[in-house]
């Protein structure tokens, strides 16, 4: 873990006032908020911005961070500011300057502790799941995102997920554990939908059940289809004569090509619905074909002659409603 | 150390909807906050019993609750403003989807 300069992240000087920090945070939140930002790495940036803001806007945390940062940057790992290590376990020998990983663990530990206290205090009010009464604590749920293709959703898929989690070893020290989870994703899953992997979250404490892992499904952009829930839509190119005269054309679906009837007199943008040809489910989605009339280029003598003939035969002015002549 | 395990996922909406406790936990909020969202009509429930312990939520509600929670925290706005922002963002998303297709 690298040392994070929270002041640099918030783009403020070290002696910035609380008001300046608040303003800087607001500005960056608008820029990097994953719900509104167009920046590619918005989510990671926002995480850093939030982390920096959590520390710097709190006077006590900021003071602890400043003391610690002075220790980190000091010569020969000079000891951090007095009193910064109250109330938490420090994994290094007493008096040693903190290394960067420990520093991050310290901050994470500090906040985790505050969070735990908040929850413990809160659990006495209203109702709770029994956490306050029993020693057994259910592990925390984890949330992650997964990107699959429309084809994966259509037929179901097994995907290997590489997960990295922190677990405590026999000595109670946090260890990074890599694990691979082979996940069978059911057919018919929709974008935005969550899937639950029971027991794959954080381990429970004192005999409590493991938390669950929730994956939010996203679809990779598909070259042909757009998904809206279980419905799919696709542009279907047709010739002017297929649209004008009607006829049967072939269209691809996720289950293979099908033959569809184009009604005579079909217009650009007209929609055909193929019932049940979308993503599977109960009920299955539909596939919408949106007609896209494509004109052949007038590059040969024969096509030029055909266009000229059409011009004469149709006597058609598409700008009549604009009040101008052809 | 690498462990490999195999498990079958279930779709939250169909078979294993999210409980009010799970929803509160994933938003890092208290369940009273979830109840307020439901009472204000910000968050739809999949099933609403008399006691909130029995309330369950679909995926879309989880995504919405997390978004509202993030907006409230990051912009320090009240619930109504966060809900309005979430609504507008949803509209932008669906318009972009339409635009991308055609």
Nearest 5°: the CA angle A97, A169, A140 is 100
Per-residue model confidence (pLDDT) at position B2: 57
Q: Could you tell me the maximum CA-CA distance found in chain B, to the nearest angstrom?
A: 49
Q: Which two tokens stand for residue A153?
A: 């959703």
Mean pLDDT of B89-95: 87
Q: What is the ipTM of this complex?
A: 0.80
| Residues on chain B touching A212 (C-beta within 8 angstroms) | 22
Report residue B20's pLDDT band, with 50, 70 and 90 as the boundaries. Answer: very high
Per-residue model confidence (pLDDT) at position A107: 54
B68 has a chain A CB within 8 A of its CB = no
CA distance B77 to B71: 7
Q: Contact at 8 Å (CB) between A225 and A232?
A: yes
Contact criterion met (CB < 8 Å) for B7 and A129:
no
List CB contacts of A31: < 8 A, sequence separation 6 or more.
A37, A39
Q: Contact at 8 Å (CB) between A288 and A271?
A: yes
Q: Contact at 8 Å (CB) between A232 and B52?
A: no
CA distance A46 to B28: 17
Q: Nearest to residue A231, comparing CAs of A190, A170, A292? A: A190
B63 has a chain A CB within 8 A of its CB = yes
Q: What is the DSSP secondary structure assignment for residue A6, as one 8-state letter?
A: H
| Residues on chain B touching A43 (C-beta within 8 angstroms) | none
- For chain B, the average pLDDT equals 86
Q: What is the DSSP secondary structure assignment for residue A25, as one 8-state letter?
A: H
Asked, as a colleague might, if the bond just before A12 is cis with ω within 30 of 0, I would say: no
Per-residue model confidence (pLDDT) at position A172: 75
Residue A195, Cβ neighbours under 10 Å: how many?
25
Q: Contact at 8 Å (CB) between A34 and A84?
A: no
Low-confidence ranges of chain A (pLDDT < 70): 1-2, 71-135, 164-168
CA distance B55 to B70: 22
A141 has a chain B CB within 8 A of its CB = yes
Report residue B16's pLDDT band, with 50, 70 and 90 as the boundaries. Answer: confident
Contact criterion met (CB < 8 Å) for B97 and A228:
yes
Count of H-run helices and E-run strands, chain B: 4, 4
Per-residue model confidence (pLDDT) at position A2: 57
| Residues on chain A touching B6 (C-beta within 8 angstroms) | 181-184
CA distance A5 to A19: 19
Contact criterion met (CB < 8 Å) for A198 and B63:
no
A322 CB burial (10 A radius; 0-12, 13-18, 19+): exposed
Nearest 5°: the CA angle A126, A130, A136 is 150
């Amino acid at each position: 873990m690298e040392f994070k300069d929270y002041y640099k992240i918030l783009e403020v000087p070290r002696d910035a006032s609380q008001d300046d920090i608040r303003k800087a945070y607001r500005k960056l939140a608008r820029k990097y908020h994953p719900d509104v930002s167009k920046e590619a790495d918005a989510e990671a940036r926002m995480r850093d911005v939030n982390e920096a803001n959590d520390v710097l806007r709190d006077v006590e945390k900021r003071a602890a961070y400043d003391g610690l940062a002075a220790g980190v940057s000091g010569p020969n790992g000079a000891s951090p500011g007095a009193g910064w290590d109250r109330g938490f376990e420090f994994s290094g020998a007493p008096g040693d300057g903190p290394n960067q990983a420990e520093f991050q663990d310290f901050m994470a530990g500090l906040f985790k502790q505050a969070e735990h206290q908040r929850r413990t205090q809160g659990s006495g009010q209203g109702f709770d799941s029994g956490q306050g009464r029993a020693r057994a604590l259910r592990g925390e749920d984890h949330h992650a995102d997964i990107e699959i293709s429309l084809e994966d959703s259509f037929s179901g898929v097994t995907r290997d997920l590489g997960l990295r989690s922190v677990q405590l070893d026999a000595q109670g020290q946090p260890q990074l554990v890599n694990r691979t989870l082979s996940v069978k994703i059911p057919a018919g899953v929709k974008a935005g939908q969550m899937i639950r992997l029971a027991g794959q979250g954080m381990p429970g404490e004192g005999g409590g059940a493991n938390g669950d892992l929730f994956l939010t499904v996203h679809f990779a952009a598909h070259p042909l289809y757009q998904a809206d829930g279980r419905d799919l839509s696709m542009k279907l190119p047709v010739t002017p004569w297929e649209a004008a005269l009607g006829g049967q054309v072939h269209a691809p679906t996720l289950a293979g090509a099908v033959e569809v009837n184009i009604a005579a007199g079909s217009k650009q943008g007209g929609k055909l619905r193929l019932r049940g040809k979308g993503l599977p489910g109960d009920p299955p989605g539909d596939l919408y074909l949106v007609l896209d009339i494509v004109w052949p280029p007038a590059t040969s003598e024969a096509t030029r002659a055909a266009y000229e003939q059409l011009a004469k035969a149709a006597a058609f002015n598409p700008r009549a409603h604009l009040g101008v002549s052809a | 150390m690498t462990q490999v395990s195999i498990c079958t996922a279930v779709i939250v909406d169909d078979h294993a909807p999210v409980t009010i406790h799970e929803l509160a936990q994933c938003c890092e909020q208290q369940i009273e906050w979830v109840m307020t969202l439901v009472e204000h009509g910000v968050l739809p429930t999949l099933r609403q019993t008399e006691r909130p312990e029995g309330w369950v939520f679909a995926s879309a509600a989880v995504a919405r609750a997390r978004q509202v929670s993030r907006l409230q925290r990051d912009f320090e706005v009240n619930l109504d403003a966060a809900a309005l922002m979430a609504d507008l963002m949803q509209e932008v998303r669906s318009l972009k989807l339409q635009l991308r297709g055609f």
